[in-house]
Amino acid sequence: MTTDYLTRKNPFYALLIFSLPMIVGNLFQQTYTMADSAIAGRFVGERALAAIGASYSLTNIFICIAMGGAIGASVIISQYFGAKDLVKMKTAIYTSLLSFLIISILLSAVGLIFSRNIMIILNTPIDALDMAEEYLTIYFYGLPFLFMYNVLSSIFNALGKSKIPLAFLIFSSLFNIILDWILVTTFQMGIAGLAWATLIAQGISALLYFLMLSAQLKTIDSNNHIIFAREELLPMSKIALPSILQQSTVSIGMMLVQSVVNRFGSEVLAGFSAAMRVETMCVVPMAGIGNAISSYTAQNIGAGKKQRVIKGYHAANGMIVICAAIICFMLEFFHNPIIEMFLGKTATMSALVTGNNYLTFMGWCFCLIGFKMAVDGLLCGAGDMKMFTLANFVNLIIRVSLAMTLAPQFGIAVVWYAVPIGWLANWVISFVQYR
């Protein structure tokens, strides 16, 4: 069922083969979020796009909790896999699934109760508030599916089976886009149609994912594993909790930044939201490489091949330079049609100017987040979470403090000027720890 090419093949080749399915899959996943925004902006209106953008900072907290927990599970599973300890590996898989199902149900309840109050506190424009609440209510009903989808994807990646998550991401994304179009344009469900499309697509994908994992695990001959083990949950938690804290703290910080953007009104918020969707797409290859070096590091440490980790890190940086150059070219020459794809040709000037200015500045900066994610991934795969957490916290403090103190005086552009400064500080701290 598994392969150990991450511990045997040429590092560049191994990382490329392992990361490509994740990158392509995540591009498909981001394609449906972009489709959500484009359909909202073109067929429901700028207020709907602003509502989704205002909701994103809150929903991203829950996504980061799911991803942070999945990282903790995947590192432990990868290490057991690298050491060929299949009994403990199966126990770790079952323990992670059960734990995060319970957590997701509890968080779903929290989101349903407090989402509107949080949107009000974040200065969400009044003309977008009701739409944001409607979207969030449906989103939180589907939160358990989101959690299971992410943790199952990480489990397959931890086992070196990254083509399976790719297939499911493509299926889920295309299915989601089709549902978006049908529910919004045919059934006229508005912003609720976008939320229901996501819930249905992720729910079906999570169920199919689980059935496939169950079939895969049955091929492993191990009669001594158990369904839940506290002794497996502890090492997962030691990695997952700092990662969850780091990612959630960053999301909370970005939510504070969002509150600054919201004060500029729904038109500026719509342009900012469109540009943020594009930025998220641009970060996908960097995140894929970072996740790949994390699993690569964990497996090679488990196999006792620590020198391969250094070679892999150098290979990852080479991949990042190539990706950053392509992204910079695309954003500098095609930023206007990209923004118009979300807003349409009848968009307000404030929305268009905000989106275009964001993209033309950020186009030159994505190498920084790539370098940051590569070294962060290495530290995470090695289980070295203290400096990883500190570096990301410094990144957060810089971005939030600059946005909240300077943007009200000097304009919204300060929000994106602060981004590469934070990325650079993060990379410096993590790289010193790596050295």
| Residue whose entry in the numeric block shows the structure tokens 């996908």 | 284
Is the pLDDT confidence value at 4 over 80?
Answer: no
Tell me 183's DSSP state. Answer: I
Is the pLDDT confidence value at 28 over 70?
Answer: yes
Per-residue pLDDT averaged across 326-343, rounded? 94
pLDDT of 249: 67
Cβ-in-10-Å burial (0-12, 13-18, 19+) of 126 comes to: exposed
CB atoms within 10 A of CB 214: 9
**Structure confidence by residue, pLDDT tens digits, 373-405:** 999 999 988 888 788 778 888 988 998 999 999
pLDDT of 24: 82
Can you state the percent helix, strand and coil of the chain, rounding each to 5? 85, 0, 15
| DSSP code per residue over 14-53 | HHHHHHHHHHHHHHHHHHHHHHHHHHIIIII-HHHHHHHH
Which 3 state secondary structure label does DSSP give 151? Answer: helix
2 pLDDT tier (thresholds 50, 70, 90): very low
Q: Are 184 and 44 within 8 A, CB to CB? A: yes
149-163, 219-233, 269-283, 357-371 — most confident range = 357-371
- Token duo for residue 286: 């960097």
Q: Are 91 and 226 within 8 A, CB to CB? A: yes
pLDDT of 6: 81
Is the pLDDT confidence value at 197 over 80?
Answer: yes
Q: Which of 18-22, 97-101, 230-234, 394-398 comes out lowest in average pLDDT?
A: 230-234
Per-residue pLDDT averaged across 47-51, rounded? 89
Q: Could you report how far apart the first and last alpha carbons of the chain are, in Å?
A: 36
207 pLDDT tier (thresholds 50, 70, 90): very high
Per-residue pLDDT averaged across 66-83, rounded? 84
Q: In angstroms, rounded to a whole number, what is the distance separating the alpha carbons of residues 309 and 292?
A: 12
10-14, 27-31, 157-161, 427-431 — most confident range = 427-431
Residues 6 or more apart whose CB falls under 8 angstroms from that of 331 comprise: 278, 282, 338, 359, 360, 362, 363
Q: In angstroms, rounded to a whole number, what is the distance separating the alpha carbons of residues 394 and 379?
A: 16
Q: In angstroms, rounded to a whole number, what is the distance separating the alpha carbons of residues 339 and 357?
A: 10
Share of the chain above pLDDT 90, in %: 47
pLDDT of 1: 39
Cβ-in-10-Å burial (0-12, 13-18, 19+) of 258 comes to: buried
Q: Which of 158-167, 214-223, 313-322 comes out lowest in average pLDDT?
A: 214-223
Residue with the bigger pLDDT between 346 and 81: it is 81
Is the pLDDT confidence value at 46 over 50?
Answer: yes
Which 3 state secondary structure label does DSSP give 347? Answer: coil
pLDDT of 241: 79
pLDDT of 247: 66
Q: Supply the mean pLDDT for the chain.
A: 88
**Structure confidence by residue, pLDDT tens digits, 103-135:** 999 999 999 999 999 899 989 999 999 999 999
Number of helical (H) and strand (E) elements in the chain, helices listed first: 14, 0
pLDDT of 222: 61
Question: What 3 state SS string does 277-344 have?
Answer: HHHHHHHHHHHHHHHHHHHHHHHHHHCCCCHHHHHHHHHHHHHHHHHHHHHHHHHHHHHHHHHHHHHC
Per-residue pLDDT averaged across 89-94, rounded? 87
221 pLDDT tier (thresholds 50, 70, 90): low
Provide the whole-model pTM.
0.76
